[in-house]
Amino acid sequence: MSGKSRQLVTILVCSSIILTLAMGIRHGLGLFLLPMSTEFGWNREAFSFALALQNLFWGITQPFTGMIADRFGAARALVAGSLFYAAGLALMTTSASPVLFSVSAGLLIGVALSGCTFSVVAGVIGRNFPESKRSQALGISAAAGSFGQFVMVPVEQGLIDGIGWSNALLLLAALVCLIAPLSIGLKETPAANTLRAQTVAQALREAFAYRSFWLLTAGYFVCGFQVVFIGVHLPSYLRDDQLSSGVAVTALALIGLFNIFGTYVAGQLGARFTKKYLLSGIYTLRSIVIVIFLVLPITPVSVYVFAAAIGFLWLSTVPLTSGIVAHIFGVRYLSMLSGFVFFSHQMGSFCGVWLGGYLYDKTGSYNVVWQISIALGIFAAIINWPIKERAIVRTAAIPAV
């Protein structure tokens, strides 16, 4: 194996483990809703609002974390992210009021996730893998985040049941510190990080003036709304229908398991077919799956089928969305531009998780939010269709990727 091949394998392995930890732990935070709300006497909106803030701060800081990763390398962003993550998880154990909980679970973990998840990792992969292999590599790394959900959700539930929610959070805080040493594997050579003679300001002006960038960004809002609402509120929704916590844990694990296959397949298909059409198909299928789930009786079998289907579509948007950004604008500022697109995703996440709790407290059910999710899926399918998926031709003499 050549030195370049070893470097690519190292990047892919380390980024996959990082995403497994970062996304896996984050996906299980919804399991803490009931035990923490019960102990501290909160309603569901208090917990939901903190996680909504988490997604909002994640989105707000992501473009700036992306700039840091593009300019100074991903390793620094990853180390800082792991430290913020550990601090947020540890402080959750002492956050007895909704305000303190919003600081620990909301602000700290939100900032942390911007430093150690998809946008930062995508930049490293995009700059180092050739275009012919980029979509597949992005799909594999996204699948790792899904594998984390499959592995970590049952682990987190087991920890909550075995040692209590507070000790579980402390153990997870220690575990997430492993991201720091793993970041060494994502150090880039100078050549990989100086591909384009384009400034940050020029890259931003170019992207913000491009209609397809805004269409892609608007569609990603829907992705965030749907997946975070389901990820946080599905366990409580199932408990309201008198299903056991074991059914909810199995459902979240199945989402993670089938998401592994979905993101991998999406990465493979993105290398062969037009990505915008694949995105439109994914959003359409999500709405169909949700409709079928709601009209059928809620049983363990129907829940597991829904989890498998929605899981296959869960993060399959990630390699396709990052792939479109890289194809149109190049990879020099991929972390930053992906961060701006991801900010829209997190605005959707904020709305999905907060509206889930707010409307539940107001109406006593999640029905309205499910209906909004269906309508938004159709909207996203429509606006992804006219995206112009072709590389920008610049008049300046900037080397091609």
Q: Write down the pLDDT at residue 1.
A: 62
% the chain with pLDDT above 70? 94
Q: Is residue 142 scored above 80 in pLDDT?
A: no
Do the beta carbons of residue 270 and residue 139 sit within 8 Å? yes
Two tokens, residue 34: 């009931």
The pLDDT confidence band at residue 401, using thresholds 50, 70 and 90, is very low
Residue type, 1: M
In whole angstroms, what is the distance from residue 245 CA to residue 251 CA? 10
- Burial of residue 205, with CB atoms counted within 10 A of its CB: 0-12 exposed, 13-18 middle, 19 or more buried: exposed
Identity of the residue numbered 114 = S
Say how far apart CA 222 and CA 334 lie, in whole Å.
21
For residues 338 and 141, the answer to whether their CB atoms sit within 8 Å is no
The whole-number pLDDT of residue 189 equals 59
Bigger pLDDT: 301 vs 396 = 301
Q: What is the mean pLDDT of residues 133-150?
A: 77
Residue 28 is classified by DSSP as T
Question: Is residue 326 scored above 90 in pLDDT?
Answer: no
CATH of domain 3-384: 1.20.1250.20
Residue 117, token pair as written in the block: 């998840």
Contact yes or no for 341/326 (Cβ under 8 A)? no
Dist CA 323 CA 331 (whole Å): 10
Lowest mean pLDDT, pick from 11-25, 134-148, 309-323, 381-395: 134-148
What integer is the mean pLDDT of 32-58? Answer: 84
Give the integer Cα–Cα distance in Å for 39 and 112.
26
Q: What is the pLDDT of residue 117?
A: 85
Taking the C-alpha atoms of 245, 246, 252 and 257 in order, what is their torsion angle to the nearest 10 degrees? 180
**Contact predicate 282/377, CB 8 Å:** no
Task: Tell me the two tokens of residue 211.
Answer: 């209609």
Kindly list the domain boundaries of the chain, sorted by start residue.
Answer: 3-384
C-alpha–C-alpha distance, residues 79 and 128, integer Å: 20
CA distances from 235 to 27, 282, 302, 352 (A): 12, 23, 14, 15
- Radius of gyration in angstroms for the set of CA atoms belonging to the chain, rounded to a whole number: 20
Percent of the residues in the chain that have a pLDDT greater than 90, as a whole number: 39
Higher model confidence: residue 138 or residue 369?
Answer: 369
Tokens, residue 38: 């019960």
Q: What is the pLDDT of residues 74-85, one digit of tens each?
A: 888 999 999 999
Q: What is the mean pLDDT of residues 45-61?
A: 85
365 φψ region: left (φ > 0), alpha (ψ -120 to 50), beta (else): beta
Query: Residue 132 pLDDT more than 80?
Result: no
List CB contacts of 125: < 8 A, sequence separation 6 or more. 11, 12, 15, 134, 137, 138, 141
Higher pLDDT pick, 398 / 113:
113
pLDDT at 289: 97
pLDDT bin (cut points 50, 70, 90) of residue 191 is: very low
Which pLDDT tens digit goes with each residue over 270-286? 888 899 999 999 999 99
CB 391 within 8 A of CB 328: yes
CA distance 369 to 317: 21
pLDDT bin (cut points 50, 70, 90) of residue 190 is: low
Q: How many Å apart are CA 401 and CA 127, to the nearest integer?
A: 9
pLDDT above 50: residue 160: yes
Instruction: State the chain's mean pLDDT as an integer.
Output: 87
pLDDT at residue 378 in the model = 96
Residues 317 and 279: beta-carbon distance below 8 Å: yes
Residue 396 has pLDDT above 60, yes or no: no
Residue 31's pLDDT band, with cuts at 50, 70 and 90, is confident
Whose CA is closest to 30, among 176, 143, 172, 157?
157
pLDDT confidence of residue 364: 87
Half-sphere exposure of 122 (CA within 13 A, CB side): 37
DSSP 284: H
Return d(Cα 100, Cα 102) in angstroms, integer.
5
Q: How confident is the model at residue 194 (pLDDT cuts 50, 70, 90)?
A: very low
pLDDT-wise least confident of 15-24, 139-148, 335-344 = 139-148
Residues 6+ apart with CB under 8 A from 364: none
DSSP character at residue 30: G
Decide: helix, strand or coil at residue 378. helix
Q: Give 218-229 pLDDT, tens digit per residue.
A: 999 999 999 989
169 versus 145: which is more confidently predicted? 169
Q: How far, in Å, CA of 70 to CA of 57, rounded? A: 20
Average pLDDT over residues 247-269: 87
The DSSP secondary-structure symbol of 366 reads: S
